[in-house]
Structure 1
Amino acid sequence: MNNKIDDLNWRILKLLQENSRLSMSNIGREVGLTPPAVAERVKKMEDLGILEGFNAKVSYTLAGYQLKAIITLRAFMGKLKPFLEMVKTLEEVINCYRITGDENIIMEVVLKDQAHLERFIDELIRYGETRTHIILSDVVSDAPIKRLK
């Protein structure tokens, strides 16, 4: 699929990752294409699944959450599959990945306060052992995908 992303598409992707609200006209001016040509390329990248969507970035603190944490889970025997279904229903979970290593799951969560964190962990420990890491600050967040050299 990488052969579908030529130099112009990479330039378009860079601009969209920096600001997904850019108009096709503005992108066209930056990359030297007409707005319809940009729109056609964007549509094709959407159809191919290269562009997966356009999202708004929300400040978790201004949305009312005081804590952001990374929680890993090492599932108990027979509890991984039920957990994988249940985790999809948890509003606190903003990212969840099944991983290799000692733990099975790593989640990024937002929580209102420490009491909320405690209740959340109490829900998780039915499925396995948890390890919690409070995020102090973002060092790299939502970095754009770049062309590998």
Structure 2
Amino acid sequence: MNDIQNLSLDEKDQRIIISLLNDSRSSLKEISGDIGLSAPSVAERIRRLEKIGIIRNFTVDLDSHALGYVLKAIVRIRPMPGKVQPVEQLIIETPQITECSKVTGDDCFVATLYVRSMDEIDIILEKISEKASTSTSLVKRTIIERRAPPLS
């Protein structure tokens, strides 16, 4: 991968990315019409953005509630001494944990968890609590959905 830290995106690249962020299923024709480039030029720019690692993949955004996951929780996890690796592995193996960051500070991990019930939270946290202490907050409302960092 090239050094993308010093890469600046021109206006056309930014508009392509914004279009794909809004709807990753947009056709090349739709994008080209929106930004004033030919479809082959848009395709080439997208390939270049993928090659240099700015565009990593195209995803599907699922509605957790429609899948029956009515509760979202943020869990701060502090492994017991010598248990960081086993806790990390347990986090990786828990499919209800959809995102987790290793962080600085008192806790080692901050995880996002989707569950169908309070009982399900208890079952998951009991497994983790054998190797770590946890602090859990239920999400009442999401203010900002996942979004891209600023492009400029």
TM-score by length of 1: 0.94
Alignment of 1:65-144 (within 5 A): 65-144=69-148
Report sequence identity in percent.
24
RMSD: 1.2
8 Å contact 1:67–1:112 — kept in the other structure?
Answer: yes
Write the deviation string for residues 32-77 of structure 1: whole angstroms up to 9, x where unpaired. Answer: 1111110111111111111111111111111011211000101111
TM-score by length of 2: 0.92
Give unpaired runs (5+ residues) of structure 1.
none
Partner of 1:147: 151
SS at 2:7 equivalent: helix
Write the deviation string for residues 2-40 of structure 1: whole angstroms up to 9, x where unpaired. Answer: 425222111111111111111111111111111111011
CA–CA distance in structure 1, aligned partners of residues 21 and 148 of structure 2: 6
CA–CA distance in structure 2, aligned partners of residues 48 and 7 of structure 1: 17
CA–CA distance in structure 2, aligned partners of residues 70 and 44 of structure 1: 36
Partner of 1:61: 65
Question: Alignment length, in residue pairs?
Answer: 148
8 Å contact 1:14–1:144 — kept in the other structure?
Answer: no
CA–CA distance in structure 2, aligned partners of residues 52 and 126 of structure 1: 36
CA–CA distance in structure 2, aligned partners of residues 18 and 6 of structure 1: 18
CA–CA distance in structure 2, aligned partners of residues 22 and 67 of structure 1: 31
Give unpaired runs (5+ residues) of structure 2.
none
Is residue 1 of structure 2 the alignment partner of residue 6 of structure 1?
no
The AA in structure 1 aligned to 2:128 is L
- Please state how far the C-alpha of 1:145 moved relative to its aligned partner: 2.7
The AA in structure 1 aligned to 2:57 is G
The AA in structure 1 aligned to 2:129 is I
CA–CA distance in structure 2, aligned partners of residues 147 and 50 of structure 1: 10
